[in-house]
């Protein structure tokens, strides 16, 4: 019943890039590809490993697969491991699909007899009955991957390690693969996989781990980990404050000037990115150079193709703002339910004089931006709060 899968405590891996000169001492750099990762994975668990390129995911997987040796720490695997970490390993492009299936099955650890017995099943799953005697080099990449996947799932391993494979084939075959994963999951197999596909992580994994520069940043519930990953990815690149010089332009000449604008979370922290659905706040800081009665503060949010998604002003939703004295500063906060779909959004704040005429005193186009991320991409612009209800009619009668 229980065949726990553990790889606890301190696991180091060093890649030595050696510059070798004959008969001279060698020089090398040390890259700590996996640094002190400590995790225990239970039997039957679906475990996802995510991280940016070069974060050590594949190295970790290779260590677990017994392809690389570890430098320090301990690594323990209970149960038979699948020998492959990638699909199509050992495929020979000059041989026919028939030969390749047999060879691949033997590499997986099947005997010749078992491979022959399962041959039809493998081909049927891959839906490649008509292309059996075609050489693999004439296969499309999708067909090759289908064949590889079909062989790979025949493995009798208790622990499967998979590097980037979920996005294989067309939609129909992908569904078959997902079903197959569910079947493996039900059968109590332990599966570890590396991917960049956050929806796969959220869909299949019981737990996930986020790696960055070889270190384990986070470990836990997949949705939270996927969110951390997105933050890591976008947080670094999008932190945009408009250049200082532009902020300072003509500040003195205007009656009133927008000094700064930003997005923040409900905790008041400035953020460059946020997860879809998390409440959010747009803020603008305004400095008054002269007295002003009931100015109107406006906010416009546009998406990355420039379409206005949402616009409002204090005149519409707040009412009179009161009087401000010269030298005074004010921060205007706009709390909004974040129904935005994943994209980059730009904020354009504006200030206008009271009255009906749109008499803008200051407006700053796209002064700051916010990336909304999520594991799912629906193609929509907003994600309206919604619930489903199915109202069935009475049972129909055959016509």
Partner 1 sequence: MARVAPDPETVSRRHAPSAVGGDLRRFWNLTFTLASTDFRMTYFGSALGYLWSLMQPLLYFSVLYVVFTKIFKVQTNPPVKHYAVYMLTGIILWTFFLQTTSTSVQCLLAREGLLRKMRFPRLVVPLAVALTALFQLGMNFIAVILFAVISGLTPRVSWLELPVLVVLMAILAVGTGMILSCLYIRYRDIAPIWAVAAQILFYGSPVIYTAAKYPGGFVRIALCNPIAAINTQMEHAFVDPTAHSAATVIGGGIRLAIPLGIIFGVFALGLWFFHREAPRIAENL
- DSSP 8-state symbol, 395: P
Give the one residue of 9, 15, 312, 353 binding partner 1; rule: CB under 8 A.
15
* Position 16 contacts partner 1 (CB under 8 A): yes
* Position 184 contacts partner 1 (CB under 8 A): no
Give the one residue of 54, 83, 235, 277 binding partner 1; rule: CB under 8 A.
83
Min separation Cβ 246 and partner 1, Å: 50
State the maximum Cα–Cα separation within the chain, in Å, rounded to a whole number.
91
Neighbouring CB atoms inside 10 A of 188's CB total 13
Q: Which of these, 182, 208, 185, lies nearest to 196 by C-alpha position?
A: 208
Place of tokens 């069935």: 392
In the region spanning residues 18 to 37, those forming contacts with partner 1, defined by CB under 8 A, are 18, 20, 22
Q: Which residues are bridge partners to 35 per DSSP?
A: 12
* Position 70 contacts partner 1 (CB under 8 A): yes
Query: Interacting stretch for partner 1, rule CB under 8 A, among 46-54, 101-109, 141-149, 199-207?
Result: 101-109
Token pair, residue 38, equals: 């400590």
Q: Which of these, 72, 66, 76, lies nearest to 40 by C-alpha position?
A: 76
* Position 81 contacts partner 1 (CB under 8 A): yes
Nearer to partner 1, 95 or 361 (CB): 95
Give the one residue of 34, 41, 60, 63 binding partner 1; rule: CB under 8 A.
63
Nearer to partner 1, 189 or 281 (CB): 189
* Position 156 contacts partner 1 (CB under 8 A): no
Query: Interacting stretch for partner 1, rule CB under 8 A, among 11-19, 198-206, 322-330, 366-374?
Result: 11-19
Query: Interacting stretch for partner 1, rule CB under 8 A, among 86-94, 173-181, 208-216, 250-258?
Result: 86-94
Q: Up-side HSE of residue 93: CA atoms within 13 Å toward CB?
A: 5
* Position 318 contacts partner 1 (CB under 8 A): no
Nearer to partner 1, 102 or 226 (CB): 102
Give yes or no for a contact between 150 and 144, defined as CB atoms under 8 angstroms apart.
no
Neighbouring CB atoms inside 10 A of 32's CB total 16
Nearer to partner 1, 107 or 381 (CB): 107
62-82 burial code (b ≥16 CB/10 A, e <16): bbbbeebebeebebebeeebb
Give yes or no for a contact between 66 and 83, defined as CB atoms under 8 angstroms apart.
no
Query: Interacting stretch for partner 1, rule CB under 8 A, among 83-91, 178-186, 210-218, 227-235?
Result: 83-91
What three-state secondary structure class fits 229? helix
Give yes or no for a contact between 333 and 349, defined as CB atoms under 8 angstroms apart.
no
Give the one residue of 40, 69, 121, 293 binding partner 1; rule: CB under 8 A.
69
Give the one residue of 79, 279, 322, 355 binding partner 1; rule: CB under 8 A.
79
Q: Which of these, 194, 202, 196, lies nearest to 86 by C-alpha position?
A: 194
Q: For 318, left (φ over 0), alpha (ψ -120 to 50), or beta?
A: alpha
Nearer to partner 1, 93 or 311 (CB): 93
Give the one residue of 30, 67, 132, 358 binding partner 1; rule: CB under 8 A.
67
Give the one residue of 8, 54, 90, 235 binding partner 1; rule: CB under 8 A.
90
Min separation Cβ 362 and partner 1, Å: 59
295-316 burial code (b ≥16 CB/10 A, e <16): bbbbbbbbbeeeeebbebbbbe
Nearer to partner 1, 109 or 235 (CB): 109
Give the one residue of 34, 41, 49, 85 binding partner 1; rule: CB under 8 A.
85
Token pair, residue 331, equals: 């921060």
Give yes or no for a contact between 339 and 165, defined as CB atoms under 8 angstroms apart.
no
Give the one residue of 76, 179, 293, 304 binding partner 1; rule: CB under 8 A.
76
Q: Which residues bind partner 1 (CB under 8 A)?
A: 1-4, 15-16, 18, 20, 22, 43, 62-70, 74-81, 83-86, 89-90, 92, 94-95, 99, 103, 106-107, 109, 111-112, 158
């Amino acid at each position: 019943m229980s065949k726990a899968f553990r790889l606890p405590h301190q696991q180091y891996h060093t890649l030595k890039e050696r510059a070798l000169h004959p008969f001279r001492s060698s020089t090398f750099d040390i890259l700590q590809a996996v640094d002190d990762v400590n995790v225990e994975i239970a039997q039957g668990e679906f475990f996802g490993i995510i991280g940016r390129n070069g974060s050590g995911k594949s190295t970790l997987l290779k260590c677990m697969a017994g392809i690389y040796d570890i430098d320090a720490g301990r690594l323990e695997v209970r149960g038979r491991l699948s020998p492959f970490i990638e699909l199509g390993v050992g495929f020979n492009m000059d041989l026919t699909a028939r030969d390749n299936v047999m060879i691949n099955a033997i590499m997986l650890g099947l005997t010749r007899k078992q491979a022959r017995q399962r041959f039809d099943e493998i081909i049927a799953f891959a839906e490649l009955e008509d292309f059996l005697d075609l050489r693999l080099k004439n296969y499309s990449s999708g067909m090759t991957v289908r064949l590889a996947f079909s062989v790979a799932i025949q493995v009798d391993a208790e622990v499967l390690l998979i590097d980037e494979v979920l996005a294989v084939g067309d939609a129909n075959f992908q569904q078959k693969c997902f079903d197959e994963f569910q079947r493996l999951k039900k059968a109590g197999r332990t599966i570890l996989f590396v991917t960049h596909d956050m929806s796969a992580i959220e869909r299949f994994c019981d737990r996930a781990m986020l790696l960055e520069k070889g270190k384990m940043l986070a470990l836990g519930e997949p949705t939270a980990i996927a969110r951390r990953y997105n933050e890591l990815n976008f947080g670094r690149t999008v932190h945009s404050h408009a250049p200082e010089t532009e902020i300072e332009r003509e500040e003195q000449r205007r009656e009133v000037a927008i000094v700064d604008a930003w997005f923040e979370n409900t905790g008041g922290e400035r953020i460059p990115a946020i997860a879809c659905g998390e409440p959010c706040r747009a803020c603008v800081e305004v400095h008054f150079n002269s007295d002003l009665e009931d100015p109107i503060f406006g906010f416009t949010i546009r998406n990355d193709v420039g379409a206005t998604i949402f616009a409002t002003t204090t005149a519409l939703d707040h009412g009179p703002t009161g009087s401000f004295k010269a030298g005074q500063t004010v921060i205007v906060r706009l709390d909004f339910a974040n129904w935005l779909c994943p994209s980059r959004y730009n904020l354009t704040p504006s200030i206008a004089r009271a009255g009906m005429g749109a008499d803008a005193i200051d407006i700053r186009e796209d002064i700051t931006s916010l990336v909304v991320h999520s594991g799912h991409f629906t193609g929509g612009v907003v994600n309206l709060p919604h619930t489903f209800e199915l109202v069935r009619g009475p049972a129909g009668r055959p016509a």
